């Protein structure tokens, strides 16, 4: 005779239990925090904010896990349809005018899948959320930046293809690395000063958030995105 559901739940391993009751199992490496909530968020001991951020239409499921600001990731299962589904990220609040900054740098190290459609990117905002600066360090699949091409520029230790656009709510300046990278350091301040001083696209904005994460369009079947290292330093 078959065992009762309760007996099977008591004897089954965690992953099997999750399957039986209809929930995705939390990653085994998520020792401190996990969330499958749309807007799940967590503040680390060093004041970074992690955010699951499933914001796009037609999204599937996504779980975020974290041990620290520099060791976190997501498992995402979003359908193979167009449009951004989510931007799970870690955020550091800066809250300094560009002219008062003497340095703003960041390091990253990621492991990303070879399938799916996504970009790994910084998302940098002014405090009024009038301007958005995206720095793509790698991307895969059918994804592209908003706006029109502004040529290429070498800044902050990398060469970028630059795009300028408007999403109806704010202006967007996108910088796409001309060669994909899974690890490195970005000197962000020269990029912000180039936007301000060389191009005149904004004034002395106060930089609010420096976010870093994965802008995911599709990841059917479930794909893993892992942050092995991340930090933001400003003065």
Question: In the chain, where are the structural domains located?
Answer: 1-30, 35-234
Q: CA-CA distance, 88 to 59, in Å (whole number)?
A: 13
Percent of the chain with pLDDT over 70: 87
Over residues 159-170, the mean pLDDT reads 97
Lowest mean pLDDT: which of 21-30, 130-139, 198-207? 21-30
Residue 158 carries which DSSP code? Answer: E
Q: How many helices (H) and strands (E) does the chain have?
A: 3, 15
28 has pLDDT over 80: no
Over residues 208-226, the mean pLDDT reads 98
- The number of C-alpha atoms within 13 Å of 30 and in the hemisphere containing its C-beta is 17
Question: What pLDDT, on the 0 to 100 scale, is given for residue 15?
Answer: 35
For the chain, the distance separating the N- and C-terminal CA atoms, rounded to the nearest angstrom, is 69
16 has pLDDT over 60: no
Pairing of strands 171-177, 131-140: parallel
Over residues 99-107, the mean pLDDT reads 98
Question: What pLDDT, on the 0 to 100 scale, is given for residue 9?
Answer: 31
Q: How confident is the model at residue 31 (pLDDT cuts 50, 70, 90)?
A: low
CA proximity to 150, closest of 195, 204, 215, 84: 195
Lowest mean pLDDT: which of 5-9, 78-82, 100-104, 188-192? 5-9
Over residues 113-133, the mean pLDDT reads 98
At residue 5, φ and ψ (nearest 5 deg) are: -60, -40
The average confidence (pLDDT) of the chain is 89
Chosen CATH of 35-234 out of 3.50.50.60, 2.40.50.140, 3.40.50.10260, 2.60.120.180: 2.60.120.180
24 has pLDDT over 50: no
């Amino acid at each position: 005779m078959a065992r009762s559901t309760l007996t099977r739940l008591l004897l089954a391993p965690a992953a099997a239990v999750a399957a039986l009751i209809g929930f995705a199992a939390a990653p085994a490496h998520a020792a401190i925090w996990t969330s499958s909530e749309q807007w799940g968020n967590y503040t680390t001991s060093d004041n970074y904010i992690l955010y699951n951020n499933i914001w796009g239409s037609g999204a599937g499921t996504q779980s975020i896990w974290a041990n620290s600001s520099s060791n976190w990731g997501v498992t995402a299962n979003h359908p193979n349809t167009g449009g951004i589904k989510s931007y799970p990220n870690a955020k550091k609040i800066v809250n300094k005018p560009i002219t008062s900054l003497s340095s703003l740098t960041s390091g990253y190290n990621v492991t990303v899948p070879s399938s799916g459609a996504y970009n790994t990117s910084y998302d940098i905002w002014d405090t009024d959320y009038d301007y958005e600066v995206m720095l793509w360090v790698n991307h895969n699949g059918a994804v592209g930046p908003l706006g029109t091409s502004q040529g290429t520029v070498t800044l902050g230790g990398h060469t970028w293809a630059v795009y300028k656009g408007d999403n109806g709510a704010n202006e967007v300046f996108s910088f796409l690395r001309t060669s994909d990278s899974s690890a490195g350091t970005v000197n962000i301040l020269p990029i912000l000063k180039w936007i301000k001083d060389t191009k005149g696209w904004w004034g002395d904005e106060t930089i609010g958030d420096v976010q870093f994460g994965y802008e995911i369009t599709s990841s059917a079947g479930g794909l893993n995105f892992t942050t092995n290292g991340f930090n933001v330093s400003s003065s």
